Amino acid sequence: MLEKQNFSIQDFESLNKLDYQQRTGKSHVFHSLEWMKIIQESLGLKYKIVTLKENDIIVASIPFVTYHNLIKGPCALPLQFSGYYGSIVADNDVVRKKILDQFFEYCKKYKLYTQIPEINKIKGHQGFLGYSIYKINLIMNSPIEEQILANASKRMRSYTKSAIRSNLVCCTGGLELLNKFYLLYLQNMKELGTPPLPKIYFKKIFEFLPQSTKIILVKNERQVCSGMFVLKVSKSELYAAAISTPRFYQTSQSSHLIYLQAAREAQKMGCSVMNFGRSIDGSGPALFKKRYGLEAIPLLMYSPNENWVVTDPEKSILKYAVAIWKKLPTPLSRLGGLLLAKHVI
């Protein structure tokens, strides 16, 4: 039978919600209706859904946001605010390629910048490298400390053991810890020279995904030193959506301890994978994660731009903006984040 194909783009409001949920239910949370509402209500950006039909049956889809980015211009960006991977939900590799082909044609036609994170190799398209995802696979009935220490480098093992023996204390909770976490997050983003996402972004995640979201803090007698915002993105995986270990607040090996605590929480929540997010290859965070014993999984970035490269502020004119941002008082950087955070790619 001759296959009849139909490529279309729908606004979130006109989406058949029940049908969409049935098709994407086994994917990660960043394809969910709840996530689209989080982005709309916290950042003011609305989702559109690319769909590919064969004989009136949807076989592939890509959710994305469109807006004018100050760095890249008009954009169509899947998973822009997740830092995760797997932009396409597809029945098979053939339709995955077909929907990507047509989405790129759409972006070229309307002169929209796009970049699509995927771990799947897509035939006929070049996947650019530059980022990796850092994970650890967990054995459910084995002590987390033993698993972490077995994977870490000799120096990291020493630091982690020291952190375990120290006076540092871990605590895990929900929305009641948001204010403390957000202070750490603001300081961390200031030190990185990056506009912070608004507090309402994290608050909305708690609102729409309360059972899947936790905050982990590490503190000593005087102050909170490190924080992590974690989200259960699938039945088997806990994801560190934001890791804040600012130098200004750090004491001893608080960053080593919070990574360990995140793995403990993953095991408690029934997850066999702890995902510590993506980092630019060769960067300081990437080296820390490798030495901690995490597995580096290359993240493929697909783009119709043949000259696509990682947006690394240290290697572009943005380094001047970063240098200025680092010197701003925290209240000003927070205010600037309300306007600029969505423009960071």
Could you read off the pLDDT of 161-186 as tens digits, one per residue?
999 999 999 999 999 999 999 999 99
Return the percentage of the chain with pLDDT > 90, whole number: 75
Domain check: are 115 and 140 in the same one? no
Q: What's the pLDDT at 26?
A: 87
Residue type, 83: G
Cα separation, 3 vs 339, whole angstroms: 46
| SS3 label, residue 259 | helix
Identify residue 6 by its one-letter amino acid code: N
> What token pair was written down for 58?
């949807």
Instruction: Give the mean pLDDT of 20-39.
Output: 93
Give yes or no: residues 310 and 262 share one domain: yes
pLDDT on residue 5: 63
In the listed set 76, 95, 119, which residue is the last one of a domain according to the structure?
A: 119
Contacts of 107 (CB under 8 A, 6+ apart): 76, 113, 114, 304
In a domain, 16, yes or no: yes
pLDDT exceeds cutoff 60 at 2: no
The predicted structure's pLDDT at residue 222: 86
Distance of CA 98 to the CA centre of its chain: 26
Residue among 311, 335, 278 at smallest CA distance from 70: 311
Assess if residue 342 is contained within a domain: no
- Asked if the structure places residue 127 within a domain, the reply is no
* CA-based torsion, 223, 334, 247, 145: positive or negative: positive
- Same domain (yes/no): 189, 314: yes
Distance in angstroms (rounded) separating the CA atoms of residues 251 and 225: 6
Residues 114 and 137 in one domain: no
- Are 192 and 303 contained in the same domain? yes
In a domain, 128, yes or no: no
Residue 169 shares a structural domain with residue 105: no
Last residue of a domain, one of 71, 94, 119: 119
Strand partners, 128: 301
Residue 101, burial from CB neighbour count under 10 angstroms (0-12, 13-18, 19+) = middle
Diameter of the chain by CA atoms?
71
State pLDDT tens for residues 117-139: 998 899 999 999 999 999 999 99
Q: Look at residue 57 and tell me whether its pLDDT is greater than 50.
A: yes
Q: Are both 105 and 154 inside the same structural domain?
A: no
The strand pairing partners of 67, in sequence order, are 75
| Under 8 Å between Cβ of 291 and 285 | no
Question: Does a structural domain hold residue 62?
Answer: yes
Domain-ending residue, one of 119, 148, 183: 119
Q: Report how many domains make up the chain.
A: 2
CB-CB contact of 343 with 69 (8 Å)? yes
> Do 150 and 109 reside in the same domain of the chain?
no
Q: Residue 126 domain-assigned?
A: no
Tell me: do 306 and 157 sit in the same domain.
yes
- Rounded CA-CA distance 152/294 in Å is 8
Query: Is position 344 within any domain?
Result: no
Write the CA distances from 123 to 7, 95, 117, 183, 319, integer angstroms: 19, 11, 15, 45, 35
87 vs 250: which has the higher pLDDT:
87
pLDDT digits (tens, 9 = 90+) for 253-311: 899 999 999 999 999 999 999 999 999 999 999 999 999 999 999 999 999 998 898 87
In a domain, 124, yes or no: no
Residue 151 sits in the same domain as residue 102? no
| 328: pLDDT strictly greater than 60 | yes
Extract the runs of DSSP E, i.e. beta strands, from 156-208. 169-173
Domain that holds residue 15: 5-119
> Using one digit for the tens of pLDDT, what is the confidence trace for 213-231?
999 999 998 899 999 999 9
Backbone angles phi, psi at 24, to 5 degrees: -110, 0
Rounded CA gap, 209 and 212, in Å? 6
pTM: 0.94
CA dist., res. 133 & res. 296, Å (int): 6
Same domain, 223 and 197: yes
CATH number, residue 250: 3.40.630.30
- Do 148 and 227 reside in the same domain of the chain? yes
